[in-house]
Amino acid sequence: MIDKLMAFGVYACVGISMEVFFTAFYPLFSDSIEFSWSLSGNSYVWMFLIYGSASMLFPFGFRIIGTWNIIIRILIYGIAIIGVELIAGAIIRSLVGFCPWEYQEGWHFDGLIRFDYLPLWMVFGFGLERIHRFNQKAGLSE
């Protein structure tokens, strides 16, 4: 049980850390947000649960596709992450009346997901694969 909680914490902390870095540097590449050298990034408390859930979902999916071609795996990771983002956003919106990340720009669906983020999610999924392999060696994952 401790192994599962440790893995949950690792995935949650990595996900939130990446999100905070992304939101701090995103204004460099956006025309609509003014860049600040304070590099203030943000996340949401909800994200701890969402990123942490990858500790359960990712090993399950990896058992199925772990031997497939790397390009196919990375594409599946990106699509799966967008699917989780869509479902999590819809659930949060139904519970509290809004989705914390409500996308207003880019190629988005109902403010819940951005299709143009697919390449970023693909890279993130590949990073999760590396973390999963590390967790396997450390005995935190199957």
The per-residue pLDDT for range 81-139, each reduced to its tens digit, is 999 999 999 999 999 999 999 999 889 999 999 999 999 999 999 998 998 888 788 87
The pLDDT mean for the chain works out to 90
Single-letter amino acid, residue 97: G
Containing structural domain, residue 64: 2-138
Please list, residue by residue across 98-133, b when 16 or more beta carbons sit within 10 angstroms of its beta carbon and e when fewer do.
ebebebeeeebeeebbbeebbeebbebbeebbebbe
Rg (CA), the chain: 16
- Give backbone dihedrals phi and psi of 109, rounded to 5 degrees, phi first: -115, 110
| Burial of 53: CB neighbours in 10 Å, binned 0-12, 13-18, 19+ | middle
The pLDDT value recorded for residue 33 is: 73
> Beta strands 113-114 and 108-109: pairing type?
antiparallel
Domain count, the chain: 1
The pLDDT value recorded for residue 1 is: 77
Give the whole-angstrom CA distance, residue 98 versus residue 95.
Answer: 8
Q: Read off the pTM.
A: 0.86
